[in-house]
Every structure is written in C-alpha cells, then in structure tokens.
Amino acid sequence: MDSKTEQRLQTERNIWLATNRADGRPHLVPVWFVWWNGRFYLGIQSGSVKAQNLARNPKVSLALEDGVRVVICEGTAVSLPSPISPELNQIFQTKYNWNFATDNEYDLLIQITPDKWLTWTGGDAEGNGGE
C-alpha cells in the first residue's frame, strides 16, 4: 500500500461498509472506523442489521467516500471480546472524541482483516485526468 493510501486510512472520517443480508441483498452504510496495525476497527450496535449480517457472513467490502481517488477493500470481519484495548480506545478517542470503552449503545467491536485491495485514480468531476 502506498503512503498516500495509508495516510487516508488514518485520517478519513467515514468509510462505507457493505455486508450481506440473509436474502442476499447488500446492506451499505457509512461508519466511523480506525485503521490500526493493518486492520480496520468499527464500533457497532450488537442488535444492528450490520451485526446480524456479520454473524451470518463475515465477508465485507469497505470503500472510502472519495469517488475520484478510489480505495476499496474486501475483507473478513470478526467481533472482538470486551474490553477494548486502551491503545485502540485512545485512537477512537483522538479521532472522534468517542470513548468506545464507556459507550453502552455501541457495544460490539469489529475487526476487519483485508483480503484484497482495489485502488485507482479517476478524473475530476468534469472528466479530466485519471490514471
């Protein structure tokens, strides 16, 4: 992974998470995330559609919001046991001013290990440029 992509994963606020519903339809939502030690970390609600989908099928896709400098990741999700590590909690605190360790609503920590990356640079809104 190049340094620009790594930097974006550290600093971008949201990422789109795609999971699969029981009937096969995709479920796509923006979520907060942390990129740490080569993995994604998300805090979600244990009763959410995302959590139900991940319990059935841990395969996911993630995409940064930018449609010109595209970063897409396919990966495998696992739920991590509580409590969250102090170091990871501090990263969430610094990035979002969110203390995941004390949040009773968002009670499930998900770790996603990348399996495949897709990246490219497209043109601007007028169709100029691209690689």
| Per-residue pLDDT at 82 | 85
Q: Alpha-carbon Rg of the chain, whole angstroms? A: 15
Tokens of 127: 């169709």
Q: From first to last of its 131 residues, what are the pLDDT tens digits of the chain?
A: 899 999 999 999 999 999 999 999 999 999 999 999 999 999 999 999 999 999 999 999 999 999 999 999 999 999 998 889 999 999 999 999 999 999 989 999 999 999 999 999 986 554 455 55
SS3 per residue for 54-77: HHHCCEEEEEECCCCEEEEEEEEE
Structure confidence at residue 129 (pLDDT): 52
3-121: CATH architecture:
Roll (2.30)
Q: Tell me the β-bridge partners of 64.
A: 15
Per DSSP (E only), the strands in 1-131 are 14-20, 26-32, 34-36, 39-44, 59-64, 69-80, 108-121
Domain boundaries, the chain: 3-121
Model pLDDT, residue 122: 83
Q: What pLDDT does residue 127 have?
A: 47
